[in-house]
Structure 1
Amino acid sequence: MAVTKANTNTKIHALADETLGGIKREYVEVDRKAVEGEEIVIVGKRYTDDEYKNGDIFTVDRDFHSEVDFVESDEAASDGNCSGVIYHEEYRVLEPTDIVYIDGQRYEMVEREGEVGDKVIHVYKGESNGIVRVVRKAGDDGIDVDTYEDEGELYSGFYHGHYYVLVPLDKEKTFENKNSVYKEVINYIHNELGISRQDVQEMISIAVSNEVQKMSESGKLDRVAGEKIESLIAEGFGNGSRLLHGFKERVSQ
């Protein structure tokens, strides 16, 4: 399956891809002549009598092998344009990219062998395409995934070459969003509530003191401290029963 990588200067459309079971996929606008079966978007309507408008998307039904300066789409047909003629300068071809949307997350379809824990999508010759699963086991011939049913038969794996690995995108964006929210909270605490850094430190100190007191009263603190000291002692005598440098100070602390 040939795919196109989008760049930041290209207009992108997210459309359902029937070859992937209806999963949404990113398409980019390309200025070239379309061929039969491709999707096109109207960008410069030529005649006012045509009922379609800029932004409409159609499937090309006839391309005439570039012998004329137009294609035809039955979806674009009207009383004044019975064969659905669309001139080349009126449209851009929509080429599929390797970016898909699954459960609101963007993924890049990468052609490599899946590893345990990878999310994969089945894409082989129109058979059960669009099935998304997580790899449970990887082998020489293929991968094992969670069992799925197709036309009454149960399957539990994909052959290598019959799927793409889904690599999640927007990780940096997610981190930036979290960092932005953190900054907003900090600004709200300082500017709106008038709470200083010293106030926050005192609150934390009181909270920690209360938790330590609860642990001490329940006996949990003694157990934690005892386990830590035993661990330090074992570590201290771990080098051929020779006491490590600084052992006394570490246990005292």
Structure 2
Amino acid sequence: MAEIIENSNAKVHILVDEKLGGIKREYVEVDRKAEVDEKIVIVEKNDFEGYENGDVFTVDRDFHSEMDFVESDVAASHGNDNGAIYHDEYHVLEPTDIVHINGQRYEMVDREGEVGDKVIHVYKGESNGIVRDVRKAGDDGVDVDTYEDEGELYSGFYHGYYCVLVPLDKEKTFENKHNVYKELKNLIHNELGISRQDIQEMISNAVSNEVQKMSESGKLDRIAEEKIESLIEEGFRNGGRLLHGFKERVTQTVSDEVGKRIANVLNINVELKEEGN
């Protein structure tokens, strides 16, 4: 049985889309008569049928112009050899432009891809469902990482043969990242026995060592000299008198520049967290 999402407008089913190479896609449940090749879901089965409410089938034959049912080979059973399903038993599952890839929801958008975009091949009759990142965009198409199709290697998609994948659920993605952060923090504190003070001491020692290296190599002097000269020139523009707060500005500027270089060398990424987290 498919995964179902309830919302205020319609019931959404998450199903594998064979036409997209087995990628999961969201389908909206609609009360209308089905056409051949459409997916349907049983919502109110008749008595004595071999299928159950919630079962999903693909329509193989459509008799809605002559009779009151469609047929699906998979729905066939004893007493229902042709897999007949009456119109009042099912709802049609209409495909949306939303797909699920590696746990992330994306909307398939029909536009030309740009460098860094994630794209999916959707052209009829080709290797649909191939997902790649755009490395280069041109007039005729986009270059992507190579892929193999029936023994031949390809390295791009023509415009019109793909859709751009626009990520959805940013809040959910942030929540997942926050959960990973909490798990990592618990691992550090509980499993490894490393306290906040230990981490602060590690960073402090690393910064001290880096400052010492910069000082010994002359980098620290050059940084201070360049920034101070610039501030002095700026300060004396005001009638030959240093601006108020000159000393504090020099101190803060040099401190900021040294901090940036240390962070770059140590690959430290510091983010402010909201109070209470």
TM-score normalised by the chain length of structure 2: 0.72
Give 2:271's aligned residue: none
SS in 2 for 1:106: strand
- CA deviations on 1:69-103 (whole Å, 9 max, x unpaired) are 21111211111212212111111111111111222
Cα distance in structure 1, aligned partners of 2:98 and 2:137: 24
Question: 5 Å matches for 1:166-181?
Answer: 166-178=165-177
Q: More relative contact order in 1 or in 2 (CA 8 Å, sep 6+)?
A: 1
Give 2:221's aligned residue: 226
Cα distance in structure 1, aligned partners of 2:184 and 2:162: 43
Question: 5 Å matches for 1:101-120?
Answer: 101-120=100-119
SS in 1 for 2:61: coil
AA matched with 1:110: V
Give 1:15's aligned residue: 15
SS in 1 for 2:7: coil
* Greater shift in the superposed pair: 227-236 or 76-85: 227-236
* Greater shift in the superposed pair: 145-154 or 129-138: 145-154
SS in 2 for 1:81: coil
Give 2:230's aligned residue: 235
CA displacement at 1:45 relative to structure 2: 1.0
AA matched with 1:45: K
Cα distance in structure 1, aligned partners of 2:114 and 2:37: 35
- Judge conservation of contact 2:231–2:250 (CA < 8 Å) in 1: no
TM-score normalised by the chain length of structure 1: 0.78
- Judge conservation of contact 2:119–2:131 (CA < 8 Å) in 1: yes
Question: 5 Å matches for 1:151-230?
Answer: 151-178=150-177, 210-215=205-210, 218-220=212-214, 225-230=220-225
Give 2:265's aligned residue: none
Cα distance in structure 2, aligned partners of 1:237 and 1:67: 92
AA matched with 1:34: A
Cα distance in structure 1, aligned partners of 2:215 and 2:7: 56
- Judge conservation of contact 2:108–2:165 (CA < 8 Å) in 1: yes
Cα distance in structure 2, aligned partners of 1:242 and 1:130: 64
CA RMSD of aligned residues (A): 3.3
- Judge conservation of contact 2:42–2:55 (CA < 8 Å) in 1: yes
Cα distance in structure 2, aligned partners of 1:237 and 1:146: 52
Give 1:193's aligned residue: none
Question: 5 Å matches for 1:119-134?
Answer: 119-134=118-133
Matched, 1:77 2:72: no
- CA deviations on 1:15-56 (whole Å, 9 max, x unpaired) are 221211111111111111101111111111111x21111111
CA displacement at 1:61 relative to structure 2: 1.4
Cα distance in structure 2, aligned partners of 1:158 and 1:208: 47
- CA deviations on 1:158-212 (whole Å, 9 max, x unpaired) are 11111000111121222244457879999xxxxxxxxxxxxx7x88876665555
Gap runs ≥5 in structure 2: 186-195, 253-277
Give 2:25's aligned residue: 25
Cα distance in structure 2, aligned partners of 1:221 and 1:68: 89
Give 1:195's aligned residue: none
CA displacement at 1:139 relative to structure 2: 1.0
AA matched with 1:20: L
Aligned length: 235
- Judge conservation of contact 1:236–1:242 (CA < 8 Å) in 2: no
Closer, same or farther in 2 for the Cα pair 1:93/1:146, shift >3 Å?
Answer: same
Gap runs ≥5 in structure 1: 1-5, 187-199
* Greater shift in the superposed pair: 65-74 or 243-252: 243-252
AA matched with 1:118: D
Cα distance in structure 1, aligned partners of 2:233 and 2:159: 48
- Judge conservation of contact 2:33–2:64 (CA < 8 Å) in 1: no
- Identity percentage of aligned residues: 67
Closer, same or farther in 2 for the Cα pair 1:153/1:238, shift >3 Å?
Answer: farther
Cα distance in structure 1, aligned partners of 2:13 and 2:56: 10
